[in-house]
């Protein structure tokens, strides 16, 4: 079996590539390297290409016998999606249609889609269940929801089978230190905090200290990227064994506040750094925590590295010896 990993040079895709390769699965990474890193593709085959290049995409399917696709190739900066919605609608939706067209042309009928908790918008309650109303509040979340709907329609019309995995806050790094998180620009809390600990940043801003939470700062559900990778491997195994299309949340079912992440980082690194307390950002819910009961029951999945200290420790090892 060969699987195509679109966006496999990115943060989550590269960790999935490593795990699938460890399970003996032949991987083909397809990435335009706009946000991905060639150095992160240490396993499988690599093709630099864009999903808007149908000739290149078709050539991949003609060269390799692709049995399933894992789709990570989306733009994912929420703020940018508000100021540059065309960029997000084109890449995240139109280019996905190109991928699905190529899959149909070459008889590939299984896909795992990287979605997001942003499809829920302001949560009805926490922890967030898959049955909750999806009402995204930004173009990024809407593009992910649109693709979820497209996949549902393709299943009904063409028999395409899919697993949608809705992430909460992916965090941490490969425990072996081979790959990790590297974004330009960086906007994820844990690498920002660790870069402040290394002196690469002046400090860290905390947006909102008056939320109805245990310390006044926002609470988020951080999940180790290696645990995310394990969920993708299980989803692939499920589809390859005839599983029906389905959607799952991926979270730890426990939340950590911004101030708790900062405190954990100070303990792990032994470094102090400045904190700027700022006002709330528009659209930031007080708490986003996902229920993972459904995927635990269906796949027997559970996080193996759930503690925030472990997540921060793995991210710190990577940040100190970053290779790209």
pTM beyond 0.75: the answer is yes
Would you state the pLDDT for residue 2?
96
Q: What is the pLDDT of residues 157-173, one digit of tens each?
A: 999 999 999 999 999 99
Is the pLDDT at 23 greater than 80? The verdict is: yes
Q: For 285-322, how does the pLDDT look when each residue is reduced to its tens digit (9 = 90+)?
A: 899 999 999 999 999 999 999 999 999 999 999 999 99
What pLDDT score does 160 carry? 98
> pLDDT-derived band of residue 201, with 50, 70 and 90 as boundaries?
very high
Confidence label for 247 from pLDDT (cuts 50, 70 and 90): very high
User: Given this model, what pLDDT does residue 285 score?
Assistant: 87
Say yes or no to pLDDT of 223 above 80.
Answer: yes
b/e sequence 87-121, b meaning 16+ C-beta within 10 Å? ebbebbbebbebbbebbeebebbbbbbbbbbbbbb
If you count DSSP H runs as helices and E runs as strands, how many of each does the chain have, helices first?
A: 11, 14
Mean pLDDT taken over the chain: 97
204, β-bridge pairs? 275
- 117 vs 17: CA distance, rounded Å: 23
Q: Mind listing the pLDDT tens digit for each residue in 206-218?
A: 999 999 999 999 9
The share of the chain scoring above pLDDT 70, in percent, equals 100
The pLDDT of residue 76: 95
Which residues, 6 or more positions from 318, have their beta carbon under 8 angstroms from its beta carbon?
173, 174, 177, 179, 180, 181
Catalytic residue numbers read: 140
Q: What angle do CA 183, 184, 190 make, to 5 degrees?
A: 45
Q: What is the DSSP string of 110-126?
A: EEEEEEEGGGS-S-SSS
Tokens of 308: 């925030």
What value does the mean pLDDT take over residues 38-53?
A: 98
In this prediction, residue 121 has a pLDDT band, given cuts at 50, 70 and 90, of very high
d(CA 187, CA 165): 22
Mean pLDDT of 94-99: 98
Residue 143 has pLDDT above 90, yes or no: yes
Q: What percent of the chain has pLDDT over 90?
A: 95
| Average pLDDT of span 243-253 | 96
| Confidence bin at 21 (pLDDT 50/70/90) | very high
> Is the pLDDT at 107 greater than 90, yes or no?
yes
Statement: residue 47 has pLDDT above 80: yes
- Which domains, and CATH codes, for the chain? 2-171+224-250 (3.40.50.720), 189-221+253-291+303-320 (3.90.25.10)
Cβ contact 4:66 at 8 Å: yes
State the average pLDDT over residues 245-252: 96
DSSP helix/strand/coil, 301: coil
pLDDT at 231: 98
Q: Is a pLDDT exceeding 80 seen at residue 283?
A: no
What pLDDT is stored for residue 284 in this prediction? Answer: 85
Question: Which pLDDT value is given to residue 320?
Answer: 95
- The average pLDDT across 134-159 equals 97
């Amino acid at each position: 079996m060969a699987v195509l990993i679109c966006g496999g040079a990115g943060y989550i895709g590269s960790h999935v590539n490593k795990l699938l390769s460890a399970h003996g699965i032949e991987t083909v990474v397809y990435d335009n390297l706009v946000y991905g890193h060639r150095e992160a593709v240490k396993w499988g085959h690599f093709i630099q290409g864009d999903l808007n290049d149908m000739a290149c995409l078709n050539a991949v399917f003609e060269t390799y016998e692709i049995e399933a696709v894992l789709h990570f190739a989306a733009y994912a900066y929420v703020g940018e999606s508000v100021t540059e919605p065309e960029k997000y609608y084109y890449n995240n939706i139109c280019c996905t249609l190109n991928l699905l067209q190529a899959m149909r042309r070459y008889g590939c009928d299984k896909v795992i889609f990287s979605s997001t908790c942003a499809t829920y918008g302001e949560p009805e309650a926490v922890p967030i269940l898959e049955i909750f109303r999806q009402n995204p509040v930004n173009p990024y979340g809407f593009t992910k929801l649109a693709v979820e709907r497209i996949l549902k329609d393709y299943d009904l019309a063409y028999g395409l089978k899919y697993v949608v995995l809705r992430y909460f806050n992916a965090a941490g790094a490969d425990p072996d230190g081979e790959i990790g998180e590297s974004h330009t620009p960086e906007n994820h809390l844990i690498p920002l905090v660790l870069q402040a600990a290394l002196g690469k940043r002046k400090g860290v801003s905390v947006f909102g200290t008056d939320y109805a939470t245990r310390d006044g700062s926002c609470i988020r559900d951080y999940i180790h990227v290696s645990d995310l990778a394990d969920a993708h491997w299980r989803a692939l195994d499920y589809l390859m064994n005839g599983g029906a299309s389905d959607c799952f949340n991926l979270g730890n079912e426990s939340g950590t506040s911004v101030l708790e992440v900062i405190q954990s980082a100070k303990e792990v690194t032994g470094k102090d750094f400045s904190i700027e307390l700022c006002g709330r950002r528009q659209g930031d819910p007080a708490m986003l925590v996902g229920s993972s009961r459904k995927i635990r029951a269906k796949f027997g999945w559970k996080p193996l590295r759930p503690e925030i200290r472990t997540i921060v420790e793995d991210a710190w090892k990577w940040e100190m010896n970053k290779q790209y």
